[in-house]
Structure 1
Amino acid sequence: MKRFDPPPLPAPAMQGGLADSLFETASRTPDLAQIARRPDAASPGPWTEVSAAALLDEVVGLARGLVACGISPGHRVAVMARTRYEWTVFAYALWSVGAEVVPIHPSSSHEQVAWILSDAACVGVVVEDEQAVMTVGSVCASLPSLRHVWQLDSGALKDLVEQGRSVPVTTVESLRRIVLPDSTAVIAYTSGTSGRPRGCALSHRSLAGPCDTLLAGWRHTVAPAGEQPAILAFLPFSHVYGLMVQGLCLRGGLLMAHEPELRQEAIAASLLSFRPTFLYAVPSVLEKLYKNFLRAAQQAGRGALFERAARTARDFAEATERQRLGRGPGPGLDLRLQHALHERTVYRRLRAALGGRVCGAVSGGSPLNRRLALFYSGIGIPVHDGYGLTETGGGITAQPVGREKYGTVGRPLPGTEVRVAEDGEILVQGPSVFQGYVNDDAGTRQVLRDGWLATGDLGGLDTEGYLTITGRKKDVIITSSGKSVAPAPLEERLRMHPLVEQAVVVGDNRPCVGALITLDPEFLAHWRANLPAGERGPDHQERQEAALREEITRAVATANSTVSRAESIRVFRVLQEPFDLANGTLTPSMKLRRDAIAERYAAEIEAMYQSSARSRPRLQEDPLSWDEMDDVFR
């Protein structure tokens, strides 16, 4: 069993709860800009800054209103809203009176909302609009504990502040002071990739710990010297990664802006107007940004220039990585000259598209492709890939500053221990590990073993303590010949092709590995518009389909080049619809719901393998097949 234990750090001197940091900041630096907001969350208007003192006034005013409504320590209140200013105000007001926050993604179904509100025994829920009120209303009959539904868009925050005017400020102060670090702060429900979501009880200490450790060791990387870091928060606060971003900002005095829309157009506009100094993202966002860069370059007739610049960026970053790890001399003169040329003609334009001030990024949620990490580093935006999960309150590992090793998720944070069991499962021990699953003692005992959390993730530790994630234990595919295949690396490599939006590798109890592929609609439209004239004649549809078959075949072949033949994708099918929340194939945190995908596309999977069986002689010559019935233009 491999194990890596970092040097221990003294435990943070945390005396109270998460709300304390806001009170301390407002007392120490009341004029510090803490939040940037728009007058209307749905409007692309100008950003205005909210000082720490002004934010505290709103939080205390709301906390008084919550007390007037009977909210007291230990009560659970759900927040079912997008990432917006009011989410932060409500969370800190609830923590100020000792209540527990239960985040719910606003796109959750009636059944999911009913389950979470019931399982957590919530006494109140904060929603955004009338549609959400109707969702909650439709399940209220089965929720005897639920007494309050507050609607943000109808002025609930203002109304609560008015209700609380008769409550003394000292009441809030008294309630805040009885909150202990080990009091429960959040009941965060897992994504529910299979089965019902489970509520993870997270203490104030477990949520604050990773934030404080990252601020102590990495804060200087999130902005140029002398500048206040500025963070655009667009990840859902309904998940721990988003909550960690919020915690970093309010505990570290970073300026935070909220972007409630996850549409790429909205994020792109906010990046340009807010101009953050650092990005917190998931791999799919970074992949999409790269594809947008490529598409824009091709539309401007500079596709070849972009691809040369991208290769140079990766080569430069790789040479620099070898140098800092003591394995090479660094970029040579010719590479430095090429890089300097592309800096003037390409790289600074790419950074300008992100607002012009981004000096780095963190990727989390799933491992980031090494080639993509090298690209961003090479254009001047080093990406620190990290690892964490709901049950750990956020971060477990991070890339050490000056010793980044791309393709890994870094090393364990100080104070956290990581080891890898004989079967490859990652085990974690540390102060951020959760308190247990709500109403599920058996499930808690299953994952907490002698103080170690069994993460369910597979990976490996190298001799320097860097962790590599290879997939989920439950996702490993075993073919009918007994070959075990981890799907994540193949899926990650497939997504790197501009045309591929998502991919799911299948093959349990099948003779070979297969894949279901969805296409990026925007890049597909761009690709079709730029086909040679020969593919746009009278029989253009057939010609386009043939060209597309060939392009996707190349993408699959590229992915297969990273694995053995027995692990390679031998059959695949392009689906006519995306994986998304609406059809139940993605979780709110944008993870694949593999069981739901296998059920929804059972007929397509069966047809894919039947087609393969009928054409087996051809399959032996060419390991790839395209179902003759597929028509990606239907």
Structure 2
Amino acid sequence: MLESSTPLLVGPDVIGAPGGYRNVTDLLARRAEIAPDHAAFEVPSDPTDPSAPWRDVSTREFTETVRAVAKGLLAIGVRPGDAIAIMAPTRYEWAVADLAVWFAGGVVVPIYETSAPTQVSAIIHDAKVVLAVGGSAHHVGLLTTPLDARGSDALGVWSMDAADGPGEHRDLDRLAALGLGVADEALEERRLLATADSPATIVYTSGTTGEPKGAVLTHENFLGQVLNIAAAYGEVVHPAGNTIIFLPLAHVLARGLQLICLASGMRIAHLADPTAVVGTLGQLKPTFLVVVPRVLQKIQAAAGAKAAASGLAKVWASAQSTAVEWGEFRETATPAARAPLGLRIRHGLFDAVFYRRLRQVMGGRVTHILSGGATLDAELSLFFGGIGVPVIEGYGLTETTAPLTGNLPSDIRSGTVGRPLPGSTVRISDDGEILARGIGVFSGYRNPEHNQDAFVDGFFRTGDLGRLDEQGRVVLEGRLKDVIVTSNGKTIVPMRWESSVESDSLVSHAVMIGEGRNYLSALIILDPLALAEFSAEVAASAHPRPEQHELLTVVDAKAREHVQRAVDRANELVARSEQVRRFTLIATDLDDPTFVTPTLKLKRAAVLQRSTDVVDALYSS
């Protein structure tokens, strides 16, 4: 077995110790004491108008709102340790509700806003939720029936949306009004009840491979991650910076990022619609962004398409290769080293023509991007580093309270997800599985049955395959459950091939198939928007829009020819026994929770289950 560890930067003398951080609420309380007038958030002045200006919310104003809502929770009967669900898109009020529950001594149970009614009901029942906060009338409706079924313990469902007419309306303002009679001392006493080892949240995994599991994360898990990551990434997360959070706040990565920014004084804006991000970058001018690789692929592809439309396709191709070459040089050279003269000339020219404009598209102030949620193609990472926006790739899971490993701003190696973060240890088992132990690693699932195979020798079994390079950095190699064994006994790990195909702008997901078969094939799921632009001259009837829960076979000779080249490139990267012989193009609704998790991971089992006939056709003579 191989191991890699990084010592804590902020340890037990600060977390949970007398005079240190008792629980997560201290992160906000201390920041409010240090810099009450500093802008903690940006919120739209008119949420219904995308062009409306954004206004600052100070740390003092946010803290006062949190305390008011928390008092309301106490007033209506929330007890220490009560589970409270939050179901809403990413928005400012999510942050208010999250912290208010912790101030009231409760345990937050996030629910993805795209969850089906059966999922909502199962989570509320399993976590024994007593109160819920919904983002809109739709979410309130989904939460009400299962919460009512809880009986006399239920304290109702409250809405983030304000009342739009007369009559009683359960919104956060009304909840705060109910708490006006609660004394400050009573709230402070409740706030300090939770200790470092108390449960802070129960996060239900999105279930790409089976039944969702409730991971219980403690205040210590969050504090350890927030304080140590803030210490390690001080040049990225700082009071002079700002970011946009558009990942679902039901996901632990987004919530962890929010706490890191709050504790560090970094201004936060929320966007519920990821497609609206590009339009707001110029207005909000973030210094730091967290994205999934697909966003970076789309930025690069859009730039290429614009260059091609101007007759500069060959020039752009040279600009891309120059950016990658510059990125490689910057990653491997010493800080004082100068690039070769020819590379410097080319890079300077393309910076004036292309790179500078790309940086402006991202707002002009982005110094770093964090990529997570899926494996980032090394060449794409090098490209963005080469245009002057380094990409920090990291790796983690719900069960590790988000990041477990990460490249550091001053030590990025594309193609890896970096070393263990402070306070973490990664071990590679004999069969290649990544095992984790550390400050952010949870102690177990809510259901004890789910813990039976979750740990080995005190390490959490991630289910991911990987290896350590000579510097102790983690290189991801796929999912243990995705390994394919062909009929001739060959064991295939599909991630390298799939990642290569998915780097193509037309492809959203690639699924290699071949378990028990004598050769490999694949389902290649196309990006509907990219396909529409690519095949604009094809009749709309040739590309019918898939309904929810539907997978459609795409018959488009031009698209197939394009994807064939991506398949050929991927086949060149792997051994002959790992090459795909046949594939089918598929279209589906990429927002459909039947096939895609809220964090954009593909539910492979669901896709394969709905594609039996298509798969059989790939193996027919």
TM-score by length of 2: 0.91
Pairing 1:335–2:347 present: no
The alpha-carbon deviation at position 485 of structure 1 amounts to: 1.5
- In the alignment, the residues of structure 1 paired with residue 437 and residue 44 of structure 2 have an alpha-carbon distance, to the nearest angstrom, of 41
Q: How does 1:112-127 map to 2 (within 5 A)?
A: 112-127=119-134
Q: Which residue of 1 aligns with 2:246?
A: 234
Residue 535 of structure 2: SS of its match in structure 1? helix
- In the alignment, the residues of structure 1 paired with residue 182 and residue 417 of structure 2 have an alpha-carbon distance, to the nearest angstrom, of 48
Q: Which one of 37, 49, 58 corresponds to residue 31 of structure 1? A: 37
- In the alignment, the residues of structure 1 paired with residue 528 and residue 312 of structure 2 have an alpha-carbon distance, to the nearest angstrom, of 21
Q: Which one of 258, 263, 267 corresponds to residue 270 of structure 2? A: 258
- In the alignment, the residues of structure 2 paired with residue 78 and residue 60 of structure 1 have an alpha-carbon distance, to the nearest angstrom, of 18
Q: Which one of 388, 402, 409 corresponds to residue 396 of structure 2? A: 388
- In the alignment, the residues of structure 2 paired with residue 453 and residue 324 of structure 1 have an alpha-carbon distance, to the nearest angstrom, of 37
What one-letter code is carried by the residue in structure 2 that aligns with 1:210? Answer: Q
Q: Which residue of 2 aligns with 1:547?
A: 558
Pairing 1:174–2:189 present: yes
- In the alignment, the residues of structure 2 paired with residue 556 and residue 310 of structure 1 have an alpha-carbon distance, to the nearest angstrom, of 21
Q: How does 1:349-368 map to 2 (within 5 A)?
A: 349-368=357-376
Q: Which one of 82, 104, 107 corresponds to residue 100 of structure 1? A: 107
Q: Which residue of 2 aligns with 1:304?
A: 314
Contact kept, 8 Å, 2:242 with 2:266, in 1: the verdict is yes
Contact kept, 8 Å, 1:62 with 1:157, in 2: the verdict is yes
Q: Which residue of 2 aligns with 1:78?
A: 85
The alpha-carbon deviation at position 459 of structure 1 amounts to: 0.1
Q: Which residue of 2 aligns with 1:400?
A: 408
What one-letter code is carried by the residue in structure 2 that aligns with 1:427? Answer: L
Q: Which residue of 1 aligns with 2:380?
A: 372
Contact kept, 8 Å, 1:208 with 1:247, in 2: the verdict is no
Pairing 1:519–2:557 present: no
Aligned residues: CA RMSD? 1.9
Q: How does 1:314-325 map to 2 (within 5 A)?
A: 314-324=324-334
Q: Which one of 419, 428, 438 corresponds to residue 411 of structure 1? A: 419
Contact kept, 8 Å, 1:495 with 1:501, in 2: the verdict is yes
Q: Alpha carbons of 1:193 and 1:164: their partners in 2 closer, same or farther (altered >3 Å)?
A: same
The alpha-carbon deviation at position 222 of structure 1 amounts to: 4.6
- Alignment length (residue pairs): 590
- In the alignment, the residues of structure 2 paired with residue 259 and residue 450 of structure 1 have an alpha-carbon distance, to the nearest angstrom, of 41
Q: Which residue of 2 aligns with 1:287?
A: 297
Residue 562 of structure 2: SS of its match in structure 1? helix
Pairing 1:427–2:439 present: no
Pairing 1:498–2:505 present: yes
Post-superposition CA distance 1:336-390 (Å, at most 9, x none): 1100111111101001111111111111122211011001100111001011100
What one-letter code is carried by the residue in structure 2 that aligns with 1:549? Answer: R
Residue 219 of structure 1: SS of its match in structure 2? coil
Q: Alpha carbons of 1:105 and 1:323: their partners in 2 closer, same or farther (altered >3 Å)?
A: same
Q: Which residue of 1 aligns with 2:615?
A: 605
Contact kept, 8 Å, 2:509 with 2:602, in 1: the verdict is no
Contact kept, 8 Å, 1:505 with 1:515, in 2: the verdict is yes
The alpha-carbon deviation at position 520 of structure 1 amounts to: 2.4
- In the alignment, the residues of structure 2 paired with residue 61 and residue 300 of structure 1 have an alpha-carbon distance, to the nearest angstrom, of 56
Q: Which one of 318, 334, 352 corresponds to residue 344 of structure 1? A: 352
Contact kept, 8 Å, 2:24 with 2:102, in 1: the verdict is yes
The alpha-carbon deviation at position 140 of structure 1 amounts to: 4.3
What one-letter code is carried by the residue in structure 2 that aligns with 1:522? Answer: L
Q: Which residue of 1 aligns with 2:543?
A: none
The alpha-carbon deviation at position 261 of structure 1 amounts to: 1.1
Q: How does 1:514-593 map to 2 (within 5 A)?
A: 514-529=521-536, 545-582=556-593, 584-593=594-603
Contact kept, 8 Å, 1:211 with 1:248, in 2: the verdict is yes
Q: Which residue of 2 aligns with 1:135?
A: 142
Q: Which residue of 2 aligns with 1:624?
A: none
The alpha-carbon deviation at position 30 of structure 1 amounts to: 1.0
Q: Which residue of 2 aligns with 1:454?
A: 461
What one-letter code is carried by the residue in structure 1 that aligns with 2:327? Answer: A
Q: Alpha carbons of 1:352 and 1:51: their partners in 2 closer, same or farther (altered >3 Å)?
A: same
Q: Which residue of 2 aligns with 1:218?
A: 233
Post-superposition CA distance 1:204-228 (Å, at most 9, x none): 11112222112112121357xxx71
Q: How does 1:176-191 map to 2 (within 5 A)?
A: 176-191=191-206
- In the alignment, the residues of structure 2 paired with residue 570 and residue 221 of structure 1 have an alpha-carbon distance, to the nearest angstrom, of 45
TM-score by length of 1: 0.90
The alpha-carbon deviation at position 522 of structure 1 amounts to: 3.0
Residue 386 of structure 1: SS of its match in structure 2? strand
- In the alignment, the residues of structure 1 paired with residue 190 and residue 120 of structure 2 have an alpha-carbon distance, to the nearest angstrom, of 29
Q: Which one of 158, 161, 173 corresponds to residue 150 of structure 1? A: 158
Q: Alpha carbons of 1:566 and 1:458: their partners in 2 closer, same or farther (altered >3 Å)?
A: same
- In the alignment, the residues of structure 2 paired with residue 418 and residue 497 of structure 1 have an alpha-carbon distance, to the nearest angstrom, of 31
- In the alignment, the residues of structure 2 paired with residue 301 and residue 222 of structure 1 have an alpha-carbon distance, to the nearest angstrom, of 40
Contact kept, 8 Å, 1:98 with 1:179, in 2: the verdict is yes
Q: Alpha carbons of 1:502 and 1:244: their partners in 2 closer, same or farther (altered >3 Å)?
A: same
- In the alignment, the residues of structure 1 paired with residue 229 and residue 521 of structure 2 have an alpha-carbon distance, to the nearest angstrom, of 40
Q: Which residue of 2 aligns with 1:630?
A: none
Contact kept, 8 Å, 2:102 with 2:200, in 1: the verdict is yes
Q: Alpha carbons of 1:222 and 1:346: their partners in 2 closer, same or farther (altered >3 Å)?
A: farther
The alpha-carbon deviation at position 138 of structure 1 amounts to: 4.2
- In the alignment, the residues of structure 2 paired with residue 449 and residue 498 of structure 1 have an alpha-carbon distance, to the nearest angstrom, of 40
Q: Which residue of 2 aligns with 1:632?
A: none
The alpha-carbon deviation at position 298 of structure 1 amounts to: 2.7
Pairing 1:5–2:1 present: no
Contact kept, 8 Å, 1:121 with 1:146, in 2: the verdict is no
Contact kept, 8 Å, 2:129 with 2:147, in 1: the verdict is no
Pairing 1:470–2:477 present: yes
The alpha-carbon deviation at position 530 of structure 1 amounts to: 8.3
Contact kept, 8 Å, 1:41 with 1:260, in 2: the verdict is no
The gaps in structure 1 that reach 5 residues or longer are: 532-543, 615-634
Higher share of residues assigned helix: 1
Contact kept, 8 Å, 2:90 with 2:247, in 1: the verdict is yes
- In the alignment, the residues of structure 1 paired with residue 415 and residue 350 of structure 2 have an alpha-carbon distance, to the nearest angstrom, of 24
Contact kept, 8 Å, 2:327 with 2:383, in 1: the verdict is yes
What one-letter code is carried by the residue in structure 1 that aligns with 2:611? Answer: Y
Pairing 1:43–2:49 present: yes
* Mean Cα deviation higher: 2-11 or 463-472: 2-11
Residue 550 of structure 1: SS of its match in structure 2? helix
- In the alignment, the residues of structure 1 paired with residue 335 and residue 206 of structure 2 have an alpha-carbon distance, to the nearest angstrom, of 36
Q: Alpha carbons of 1:360 and 1:318: their partners in 2 closer, same or farther (altered >3 Å)?
A: same
The alpha-carbon deviation at position 448 of structure 1 amounts to: 2.2
What one-letter code is carried by the residue in structure 1 that aligns with 2:125? Answer: S
Post-superposition CA distance 1:279-323 (Å, at most 9, x none): 111222222222222223333443333222111100111122221
Percent pairwise identity: 37
Pairing 1:55–2:62 present: yes
